[in-house]
């Protein structure tokens, strides 16, 4: 090993002011090592928290997608029910169940009071096309058997004006 040359004059005075590397090098490295370890540990903890937050968001997204799918399926089922109820054949069937009959040929009144067309009364005869609807309502689809068509007789002629009930008045 070679020996370092001795310092003289001004350099010697400066060397005395600043202590040399005699055992203090290890002490100066300790804060730097602690700082690096703390930064690495903080970075790892930050990555762990970020990863947990991302996976939690992924689980929430999956749950929301499942809920959206189930709600979409329910909405489509309800739309099918609405379409089945509003189909012309289903409306005719429901009208028959309520005792309604198809109207006859209409007649029109002109602005001068003349009658255009020949009116005809509604008939109870059912055309073959109205006997069984092509599109069934959901309650018919759900049941195992198709119910037989029940014919509700049309109400007989009902007087248009019903007289008020007569009650005897006392004292007259």
User: Do the Cβ atoms of 94 and 140 come closer than 8 Å?
Assistant: no
pLDDT above 60 (res 144): no
Q: What is the C-alpha to C-alpha distance for residues 122 and 88, in angstroms, rounded to an integer?
A: 19
Write a three-state SS string for 93-139. Answer: HHHHHCCCCCCCCCCEECCCCCEECCCCCCCCCCCHHHCCCCCCCHH
Confidence of residue 158 (pLDDT cuts 50, 70, 90): very low
pTM tops 0.85 = no
Q: Per-residue DSSP letters for 64-82?
A: HHHHHHHHHHHHHHHHHHH
Strand partners, 109: 115
pLDDT above 90 (res 47): yes
pLDDT tens per residue across span 32-45? 999 999 999 999 99
Cβ neighbours around 71 below 10 Å, total: 10
Q: Length of the chain in residues, anyone?
A: 172
Token readout for 84 is 């089945």
pLDDT tens per residue across span 11-30? 777 777 776 655 555 567 88
């Amino acid at each position: 090993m070679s020996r370092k040359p001795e310092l003289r004059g001004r350099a010697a005075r400066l060397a005395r002011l600043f202590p040399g590397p005699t055992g203090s090098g290890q002490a100066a490295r300790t804060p730097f090592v602690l700082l690096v370890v703390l930064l690495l540990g903080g970075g790892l903890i930050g990555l762990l928290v970020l990863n947990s937050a991302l996976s939690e968001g992924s689980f929430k997204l999956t749950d929301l997608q499942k809920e959206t799918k189930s709600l979409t399926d329910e909405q489509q089922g309800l739309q099918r029910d609405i379409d089945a109820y509003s189909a012309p054949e289903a409306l005719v069937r429901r009208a028959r169940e309520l005792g309604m009959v198809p109207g006859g040929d209409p007649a029109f009144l002109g602005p001068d009071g003349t009658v255009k067309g020949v009116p005809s009364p509604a008939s109870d005869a059912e055309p073959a096309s109205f006997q069984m609807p092509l599109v069934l309502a959901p309650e018919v689809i759900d049941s195992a058997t198709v119910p037989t068509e029940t014919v509700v007789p049309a109400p007989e002629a009902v007087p248009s004006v019903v007289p008020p009930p007569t009650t005897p008045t006392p004292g007259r």
